[in-house]
Structure 1
Amino acid sequence: MDKVVVITGAASGIGKELALTFAREGAKVVIADLDLKAAQETALEIDPASQRALGIGMDVSNEEQVENGMARAVETFGRLDILVSNAGVQIVAPLVEFDFEKWRKLLSIHLDGAFLTTRAALRQMYRQNSGSVIYMGSVHSKEASPFKAPYVTAKHGLIGLAKVVAKEGAAHGVRANVICPGFVRTPLVEKQIPEQARALGISAADVVKTVMLRETVDGEFTTVQDVAEAALFLAAFPSNALTGQSIVVSHGWFMQ
């Protein structure tokens, strides 16, 4: 895959696995993350010679940082073929107790971040007349869970954004799709387990068994590798036959 891919939130979790996977397939990879040091370390892990990987610091909710970071990616590698909008956080609380500033923070990272990185990417992709935008949604792009009001709202919103990008981008050779993973045992999910246990008054083991994995067909977490394979599939798809779509990767938790 002789492509240039920018992945946000790529210094850890799903994003890092995406970066490693795209790099193994031959892509040049830009690791954009709030944690500059971790982004640079991931880039060096991928390519110690610093020829095929670049780590940059980026707060995706900051317009200037996004514009500068995306410009640097293009300046470094000469083009931009794939954007994976992956950066995200989780904050869990009952809706009636949810702090407005925390609501705004979560939506800003997920939705403002997706908008800002998409806008910057599309300018380059339109010049090239080609590109693929992939949003990291969730089963919560399709379903709701208690205590996750802003997260569910944001993940639903990414599907709407992808559909608009698919409509607007088609004439410029740009496709847009959403990956909707089930629970992946990343640090973000590990943090949720005790939070939900406290909120629901049950054990951590019961959160995993009766909340997170209850609806799967095999009682298994989705893996970062599962998600990376879906991203490769979407990025490499050759035509507009697959655009404006959302693919659920959840061990059967949600079936369309």
Structure 2
Amino acid sequence: MVKGKIAIITGAASGIGLAIAKVFLENGAKVVLADLNEDKLIQETDTLKAQGYDCMAIKVNVTDEQAVKSMIDKTVEQYGRLDILFNNAGLQHVESIESFPTEKFRQMIDIMLTGSFIGTKYALPIMKQQQAGRILNMASINGVIGFAGKAAYNSAKHGIIGLTKVTALETATEGITVNAICPGYIDTPLVRNQMADLAKERGVEVEQVLEEVLYPLIPQKRLLDIKDIADYALFLCSDSAKSVTGQAILIDGGYTVQ
């Protein structure tokens, strides 16, 4: 489905980004893994190279416009083109609005929303010249519904869906598709690390968060497997999804059905 394609994935040193990178590599893509955590990034990339995969590590701060441009330039210099950009870098912080640090709010908007904008800005000229490309933006169920305690995360993810729609309209005749993936709760360190904050916000013990806070909202009563997201990303980047663009695609175990 993506054999021979060149992909950049941000936030690729761990979690969803790393899982998607592995799936793409397994399906024949060449992948640039990008992340701010250089040590972990190099470690994971070296492991993948040792397994025979064609990939490259680039340390990048997605809020640094010149660093993002350099990342894309290096990718094209190395591989000759850019077929897929997955804007995945992100972080989480859970706290009520009254006590939410303003600098943390700005940081989260900058990384998740502005960072996606910058990556898209510099990928588009290449993809337009090729008359082909796929851009995926990591949104969330919190991009379509609210969740108390997540002012910055909800704001960023709602913004990402808006950015996705605008980009899809601006590239509709250029052979480029642009979509936002909106996962529910995935079993990743990012989600597991939220448990203490969610417990504090909801007034329950940490070990009660799944059963008393999250599972009542999820009809399937389970956290998503990270491969559920990676496999759908693979489809969206294939030729089979050439007519799917501007969509906020929910993968949530039924969370938003109710």
Q: TM range, normalised to the smaller chain?
A: over 0.9
TM-score, normalising length: structure 1: 0.96
Structure-1 residue corresponding to 2:91: 89
Structure-2 residue corresponding to 1:39: 41
Q: 2:15 pairs with 13, 37, 61, which one? A: 13
CA distance in 2: counterparts of 1:200 and 1:220, whole angstroms = 19
Give me the CA root mean square deviation: 1.5
CA distance in 2: counterparts of 1:102 and 1:154, whole angstroms = 12
1:81-230 aligned at under 5 Å gives the runs: 81-230=83-232
How far apart are residue 50 of structure 1 and its match? 7.6
| 1:31 partner amino acid | L
Structure 1 SS opposite 2:172: helix
CA distance in 2: counterparts of 1:51 and 1:22, whole angstroms = 10
> Contact (CA 8 Å) 1:19, 1:29: kept in 2 or not?
yes
How far apart are residue 153 of structure 1 and its match? 0.7
TM-score, normalising length: structure 2: 0.95
Q: 1:30 pairs with 29, 32, 43, which one? A: 32
Structure 1 SS opposite 2:109: helix
How far apart are residue 200 of structure 1 and its match? 2.0
Runs of 4 or more off by more than 6 Å in structure 1? Answer: none
| 2:178 partner amino acid | A
Mark the runs of 5 or more structure 1 residues left unpaired by the alignment. Answer: none
User: What CA deviation, in whole Å up to 9, does each residue of 1:36-79 have, x standing for no partner?
Assistant: 22222222222228871001101101111111111111111111
> Contact (CA 8 Å) 2:34, 2:60: kept in 1 or not?
yes
| 1:14 partner amino acid | I
Structure-1 residue corresponding to 2:237: 235
| 2:93 partner amino acid | I
| 2:197 partner amino acid | E
User: What CA deviation, in whole Å up to 9, does each residue of 1:209-235 have, x standing for no partner?
Assistant: 222222222211011101001101111
Structure 1 SS opposite 2:181: strand
How far apart are residue 239 of structure 1 and its match? 5.5
Structure 1 SS opposite 2:187: coil
> Contact (CA 8 Å) 1:182, 1:249: kept in 2 or not?
yes
Structure 2 SS opposite 1:254: helix
CA distance in 1: counterparts of 2:106 and 2:134, whole angstroms = 28
CA distance in 1: counterparts of 2:15 and 2:91, whole angstroms = 12
CA distance in 2: counterparts of 1:78 and 1:41, whole angstroms = 25
CA distance in 1: counterparts of 2:240 and 2:121, whole angstroms = 22
Task: Report the number of matched residues.
Answer: 256
CA distance in 2: counterparts of 1:47 and 1:222, whole angstroms = 28
User: What CA deviation, in whole Å up to 9, does each residue of 1:124-169 have, x standing for no partner?
Assistant: 1111110010011111011111100110011011111111111111
Is 1:248 aligned with 2:250?
yes
| 1:93 partner amino acid | E
| 2:138 partner amino acid | M
- Identity, in percent, stands at 37
CA distance in 1: counterparts of 2:248 and 2:83, whole angstroms = 20
Structure 2 SS opposite 1:42: helix
Structure-1 residue corresponding to 2:54: 52
Structure 1 SS opposite 2:237: helix
| 2:56 partner amino acid | L
Larger RCO (CA under 8 A, 6+ residues apart): 2
CA distance in 2: counterparts of 1:245 and 1:58, whole angstroms = 27
| 2:99 partner amino acid | E
